Amino acid sequence: MPRTIATRAVAALLALGLFAFASPPVLAGAKIIRGGGEPVADDQPRTFVLTDHNGELATNESFLGSHLIVYFGYTHCPDICPTSLQTFTEVLEALGPDAENVRVAFITVDPDRDTPERMKEYVAHFHPRIVGLTGPKANIAAAASAYKIRYDKVMAGSSASDYEVDHSSSAIFMGPDGRFLGRWAYGTPAQTIAADVQAKLK
């Protein structure tokens, strides 16, 4: 990994550590739900109606014209989500000028806590082409269903705020026409994802 990327990775993770420390307690790592995040490779666009981290309406049509990486997670996630967003940051940096043709949609599975303001603070630690999306529970559920993503709120204590969210961890790749191109499992190296994206940009 180039030194500049490694430095940014450390800085981002340190910043997120401070962010989590200043927020409600983060619980032990949420579980990855296996078997989710496997959309059928058909020609049907995946639709959603959500709110971006600036408080503006964001739908699937908002991203048409760009290749889109879709990832579901949440800001209280202690490891899987920040690691994935850091990977996407490295992907976008590796693409150089071609990153202008790529967006990343980070869709929360924890809308009760992930307000637009919190999402904005969180995604600020990563690449500027990563957009945080939240919305009403029904809209989040509809978006997750459209992308065949599974998630489950798991209580971890007596307090109502004492919970984790287990969720599918795949990243989904959509074309500029809003149609499914493929997916990557959690842990896929940034270099592999960047090469896959670059191949579709040609």
- Segment 123-160, tens digit of pLDDT: 999 999 999 999 999 999 999 999 999 999 988 777 77
Higher pLDDT, 5 or 199: 199
Residues 6+ apart with CB under 8 A from 160: none
- Segment 45-103, tens digit of pLDDT: 789 999 999 999 999 999 999 999 999 999 999 899 999 999 999 999 999 999 999 99
Whether the pLDDT of residue 34 is over 60: the answer is no
pLDDT score at 41? 54
**How many degrees, rounded to 5, is the angle at CA 26 between CA 22 and CA 30?**
150
Residues 6+ apart with CB under 8 A from 17: none
> What secondary structure letter does DSSP report for 30?
P
Per the prediction, the chain carries an average pLDDT of: 84
Per-domain boundaries in the chain? 3-201
pLDDT score at 37? 46
Quick one: 3-201 is in which CATH superfamily?
Glutaredoxin (3.40.30.10)
Residues 6+ apart with CB under 8 A from 62: 52
Angstrom CA distances, 172 to 10, 11, 65, 95, 175, stand at 25, 26, 16, 18, 10
Higher pLDDT, 31 or 66: 66
Residue 81 corresponds to which tokens in the numbers above? 């989500």
Global confidence as pTM: 0.81
Strands 180-184 and 171-174: antiparallel
